[in-house]
Structure 1
Amino acid sequence: MSSSDAPISAVLFDRDGTLIEDVPYNGDPDRVHSLPTVADTLDGLRELGIAVGVISNQSGIGRGLLTSEQVREVDRRVNALLGPFDVWRICPHSPDDGCGCRKPLPGMILSAAEQLGLEPARILMIGDIGADVEAARAAGAHAVLVPRPETLPEEVAAAPLVARTVREAVGWFIPALAEARP
């Protein structure tokens, strides 16, 4: 089932808790592990010619808990496991910095759309928390929440679409990648 008249030309993913296991303030590439259905879904998107990207708040930099280099090392590991990605956007700011890029603001999604040469309406954002969904809505993109046990119930209730897996989330907009139903 498609929720859009315009075809999806790019899928943007939150990094921690969506593409990889969430390890708070992780600066160690050896602790990067892909989540189920992610690698196959990304491969399928690439085979269909759909751009893929990463949109990630990394406040550990702004809070002084991580260095930019540590985040780059983790991102390199993500890219080695799951890449290549067409676009990466990282917000290094703490919540108190007042930047325009930190989710739930739309800055990173709008910037990625510009780099990809796409209208936000042709982008799907997939994440595990409300800020991911809110950023997509603010940008004019589509959003699907793939909650984890830590996702707040009110975030699940507020999401326009909720999926069990990344594959299911993508399949609602790109039927060729829908999970097989029993």
Structure 2
Amino acid sequence: MNKAIFVDKDGTLLVDVPYNVDPSRMEFYEGARESLRQLQEHGFLIIVVTNQSGVARGFFTEEAVINVGNVVATELANYCVTLDGFYFCPHHPAGSVAAYARPCNCRKPAPGMLLRAAEDFNIDLQNSWMIGNSLDDVAAGRRAGCFTLLISDTETTRDRAGSIPPTATATSLSEAAAIVLENQRVLV
């Protein structure tokens, strides 16, 4: 079985620009691409899992989100990182587009995207990590059976994590990668 790094897109991999599907406004966090390369070199699949309620809200289409995934994959490839999967949830119960305005099992904090990727890529969830900047990311990872890593540079978010404790916390994807690799040595 494979092991994976599930990584949130906005606020974790890319600087969060709300409802952005414009590639010219996409900015990777410093060290993010290199960190994913290091994790991939240690045998992890790299899979983005992202809530994209802008589809349900009518701000953009699924095709626009797919294009974002393609741009992310191309940019990562420039750093010798293969993006193994790009999963997104287009739903939101308060959406204005009827086809997407509903509850689902894929919108984080639900684990649906991780479970689907696990099936698609034969992933051992118990040896995989969900890395994200929100408690919804942590909850999705825990519900899927993964280790979880909360990226936050604020004490308030880390304090709120008490109800859904992550395996670890970090202030950047670079620090998160170091934590994952150190824990892999302990867990093996």
If the TM-score is normalised by the length of the shorter chain, which range does it land in? 0.7 to 0.9
Task: Please list, as runs of the form range in 1=range in 2, the aligned pairs for 1:31-180 lying within 5 A after superposition.
Answer: 31-83=25-77, 84-96=82-94, 97-147=102-152, 152=157, 154-157=159-162, 158-160=164-166, 161-175=168-182
1:105 maps to amino acid: A
Q: Quick one: structure 1 residues 53 and 133, their matched pair in 2 at CA, closer, same or farther if it must change by over 3 Å?
A: same
Rounded to whole Å, the distance in 2 between the matches of 1:153 and 1:118 is 28
**Distance apart, 1:102 and its partner CA:** 0.4
Q: Deviations over 1:55-113 (max 9, x none)?
A: 00000001111112221222222112224211121101014411111000011111111
Residue in structure 1 matched with residue 97 of structure 2 by the alignment? none
Identical amino acids, percent of aligned pairs: 37
1:52 maps to amino acid: I
The answer to whether the 8 A contact 2:3-2:125 is kept is no
Query: TM-score if structure 2 supplies the norm length?
Result: 0.82
Rounded to whole Å, the distance in 2 between the matches of 1:22 and 1:148 is 14
Name structure 1 gaps, 5 residues minimum: 1-7
**Distance apart, 1:159 and its partner CA:** 3.3
Residue in structure 2 matched with residue 18 of structure 1 by the alignment? 12
Query: TM-score if structure 1 supplies the norm length?
Result: 0.84
1:86 maps to amino acid: D
The CA RMSD measured in Å over matched residues stands at 2.5
The answer to whether the 8 A contact 1:121-1:141 is kept is yes
Rounded to whole Å, the distance in 1 between the matches of 2:182 and 2:58 is 43
The answer to whether the 8 A contact 1:171-1:177 is kept is no
> How many residues were matched structurally?
172
Q: Deviations over 1:91-141 (max 9, x none)?
A: 010144111110000111111111121221011000000000000011111
